[in-house]
Structure 1
Amino acid sequence: MQCRICGSEGVHRTYTVKEMMMGQLEEHEYFQCNQCQCLQITTIPSNLGDHYPSNYYSYVAPNSQGGAKQSLIRFRDQYAATGKNVVGKALQLLSPNAKLTTLRPLKLTKDSRILDVGCGAGLLLHSLREVGFKNLLGLDPFNQDLIQYPNGLRIEKRDIFSETGQWDVIMFHHSFEHMPEQQATLKKVFELLAPNGTALLRVPTVTSYAWQHYGVNWVQLDAPRHLFLHSVESIKVLAKQCGFKLDNIVYDSNAFQFWGSEQYEKGIMLRDNNSWAEHPEQSIFSAAQIKEFEKRAQELNSLNQGDQAAFYLRKPS
């Protein structure tokens, strides 16, 4: 087997992983490169689209609410994304928007040109649009059709290879690991970015406690949808191949790595009725246990051992 990232050939360790989100229980083989440590599916399924049903989580549309509650959400999201808004700072502490927080190192302005690839219904972009960002576009080839929101945001049904505009930020929030053409995709990103532009890759990572501890029961393996589970080393290799400089890594894992993986160990699918994701009141976990999992996740993030991270790749000027 040859690693699709670094090209290393030889004997790589293999793993048999079951599809556990939807409960299909199909078995898929993965191998972990003995050089760059990227964990990758051995054979990409020809029917990959069948593993994204209409109730897949990223297709859920934003829940638009009016009145005072919506104003408070805007304050919170403005602070999460930019670090500005005193009221939003307090709200972020009470009810954090972790996805938007990963945008803060980008030092965005309301004029920043932002492309979100593989964004599903575009929840994150919708939040940015609501707080005043105007130059936004989402792409997702798996959507049913074009999405046009009342606030002007467009989510187009196509992939990045058809894009021709120039962007300051191109981001992949847990979508890059789903893409078969890793080098071709990132080279296209490099082409579309303005000088000193940034590619933001938020992905699960095998450079983590969760992969080492849970192995094939690690919830973020998500076979067969996750085709590549990168290590820090494999991201460095990929960035160099495509002309980028890796500027920063921010670990942003949460309690999911624990409760999801512990459920899988016990044979509880993510969409089961007694899954914490579906019916917390029927779950095997208490709210106190979930809170403890969240605390442990933050500790792992501080040690650079969380099971997901944001990688900031800069295009040199």
Structure 2
Amino acid sequence: MTQCRICGSEGAHRSYVAREMMLGLRSEHRYFQCMDCECLQIEQIPDNLADYYPDHYYSYRAPGGSGNPLQKALTRMRDSYEITGKNLPGRIMHLLAPNAKLATLRPLQLSQDARILDVGCGAGILLHSLRETGFHNLLGIDPFNRDDIVYPNGLRIEKRDIFSEQGQWDLVMFHHSFEHLTDQQAHLQQAFKLLQPGGAALVRLPTVSSYVWQEYGVNWVQLDAPRHLYLHSLKSMERLAQQCGFLSERVVYDSNALQFWGSKQYEQDIPLRDPRSWTESPENSLFTAKQIRHFEQRAQELNALNQGDQAAFYLRKPA
């Protein structure tokens, strides 16, 4: 009998074997999906989990940026539009090159004085964009970074975890970091503790409450074994939020074309970091640019139907 780590349900939960396919290691890892709360979770966390996060892992990449003042100004206007929904030139830039991650902050209606903590932020790309648009009460933390980071614009990213933090915050964010955390309840309870009354937690993660999990199963690109320890359902995230004292305000699906082209590649045994992968070499991949555009359109359709493969969960600490 296996016990779900989220809801405690015991039983003959359905099991799966998934391979590591981002790096192409193809090591096998067993998962089970709780028959009650529907959370998909790894059966045994590998002892060598750190080995699956090499130095070139994508979240460690530092923010890029052109030295061109005009380009910087246009990027700031675009990012300001993503956060606020205002700024006409920024809207035009959004249509040309959207920043979907920043757009998930818009429902929170943040002021530039908002105190924002980003947990598991890697090199802090999102916080860097916020700093460039005028937000100043920002801190990023990630225990897996090599060292602390201080950017020329004053942004600090510190090498430590959420349990070392003592401050009070208006927003605590987990942007595709929460699914990597071993103790889900402890981390969300700590976020609750650090929030001011009325503050919010924003948790963005892949979800099994999606079309592609049903369609592709263990070839679903965002299962991402063994790095993703928990793939939540709507039901399991709701239960976890309640356990930690949060009110669930809304869920917004924000998936993209990756769910299709990545999963189709895995079906063909092509890793994400393979020379034949769309992300590495589009000209050598299975897909045309037209197909990728179709996948993106299909992703937006699924988001509108609440069936995309990732979502933003907006949780509120009671005032």
The equivalent residue for 1:12 is 13
| Amino acid corresponding to residue 57 of structure 2 in structure 1 | Y
Select 1:146's aligned residue among 148, 155, 169.
148
The equivalent residue for 1:36 is 37
Q: What's the CA shift for 1:127?
A: 0.3
The equivalent residue for 1:74 is 76
SS in 2 for 1:183: helix
| Amino acid corresponding to residue 137 of structure 2 in structure 1 | N
Q: Does 1:49 align with 2:63?
A: no
| Amino acid corresponding to residue 95 of structure 2 in structure 1 | L
1:50-96 deviations in whole A, cap 9, x for unaligned?
11000000111111322101110010001101112111011111110
The equivalent residue for 1:214 is 216
Equivalent-residue separation in structure 1 for 2:40 and 2:259 (angstroms): 17
Q: Does 1:163 align with 2:162?
A: no
The equivalent residue for 2:242 is 240
1:79-131 deviations in whole A, cap 9, x for unaligned?
10111211101111111000000000010111000000001000000000000
Equivalent-residue separation in structure 2 for 1:60 and 1:82 (angstroms): 26
Q: What's the CA shift for 1:46?
A: 1.3
Select 1:129's aligned residue among 128, 131, 141.
131
Equivalent-residue separation in structure 2 for 1:280 and 1:58 (angstroms): 21
Equivalent-residue separation in structure 1 for 2:226 and 2:5 (angstroms): 16
Equivalent-residue separation in structure 2 for 1:83 and 1:166 (angstroms): 27
The equivalent residue for 1:258 is 260
Q: What's the CA shift for 1:133?
A: 0.3
Cα RMSD after superposing both structures: 0.5
SS in 2 for 1:224: coil
Select 2:272's aligned residue among 261, 270, 273.
270
| Amino acid corresponding to residue 58 of structure 2 in structure 1 | Y
If the length of structure 1 is used for normalisation, what is the TM-score? 0.99
Equivalent-residue separation in structure 1 for 2:270 and 2:17 (angstroms): 18
Equivalent-residue separation in structure 2 for 1:51 and 1:225 (angstroms): 7
Equivalent-residue separation in structure 2 for 1:140 and 1:38 (angstroms): 25
SS in 1 for 2:270: coil
Equivalent-residue separation in structure 2 for 1:9 and 1:204 (angstroms): 24
Equivalent-residue separation in structure 2 for 1:47 and 1:163 (angstroms): 26
| Amino acid corresponding to residue 293 of structure 1 in structure 2 | F
Report sequence identity in percent: 68
The alignment of Structure 1 onto Structure 2 pairs a total of residues equal to: 317
The equivalent residue for 1:65 is 66
Equivalent-residue separation in structure 2 for 1:31 and 1:210 (angstroms): 17
| Amino acid corresponding to residue 157 of structure 1 in structure 2 | K
Q: What's the CA shift for 1:281?
A: 1.3
Query: Unpaired segments of 5 or more residues in structure 1?
Result: none
The equivalent residue for 1:23 is 24
Q: Does 1:225 align with 2:227?
A: yes
Query: Unpaired segments of 5 or more residues in structure 2?
Result: none
Q: What's the CA shift for 1:191?
A: 0.3
SS in 1 for 2:118: strand
SS in 2 for 1:184: helix
If the length of structure 2 is used for normalisation, what is the TM-score? 0.99
Structure 1 ranges of 4+ moved more than 2 A: none
